[in-house]
Structure 1
Amino acid sequence: MLKKSYYVSVGTGTVEDAQTLADLGNYSYEYAVEATDQEIRELRRLMGSYEAETEKTFARAGVPYKSADHDEATDEHNSQVRELYTMIYRLGTPETRGHIEKMRIMEKLGNSDYRQPGYGRHNAEEAIDVNDRGQVGPK
């Protein structure tokens, strides 16, 4: 099948072909891809799913006292982002692939922050310097 050039903006949720890009004049995009009609339909479907998950996660973010840790909405959103960027990478031009590699987004999405202080079994001890507890005044 014949592949055509398309221009993707994850920020605005758009996938445009070269003609539309020329017609819009000032359209900005983040990624250039080469795709068949079937591949671009799949990319647009993934973009729509990503936007729907973003809305769900945004709506949930305002709930007080609910941590985003281990939240299904956050996990699903991260899964959608991974799937979207995997496809953009697979279809991407060498410049697009290089940019995605440089951003390290796939690595970051695969690694939660659960190794950071405050996420372990002894949350309080990990989050503060246990050797400095109770000390008042100059050291």
Structure 2
Amino acid sequence: MTHVKRFQGIPMSKSMRGLCKEEDYVFLGMSGKMSKEVVEAAGAFEDDGSMKKEERVHRQLERERQEKERLREIEERKKEKEQQWQTHVAEVTSSQEKILLERLSRLRRFREFQRKVLVEESGMEGGAANDAVDQLLTRM
């Protein structure tokens, strides 16, 4: 009760000192009970600490699993987009080739038509007519 010696110098009425003593004894009585509770709580805390540690480990494992799942999904989406892109490029290339082949065939038909018209207009037939027509078509 060192606090009693420390607080003796403080002027206080007798009734106030009595109240303080009562409060001290009540506190000391409670602290005895509290020490038992603290010991029990410490044991519970150790159990609770191990449970919290297990929970932390479980949450960490769950986070790692979710992260792996997320990365796997990202990788799948990436592969799917790559596949879609390759399909798109193949379709575009194919359609462009078709367009070019159609244009080429139309151009060849038109050139044959021009050749036929020029041969008919020139009235010549044979190798000389073909050479003259080829020169005219080249100039065009």
TM-score (normalizing by structure 1): 0.26
Higher Rg of the two aligned structures? 2
TM-score (normalizing by structure 2): 0.26
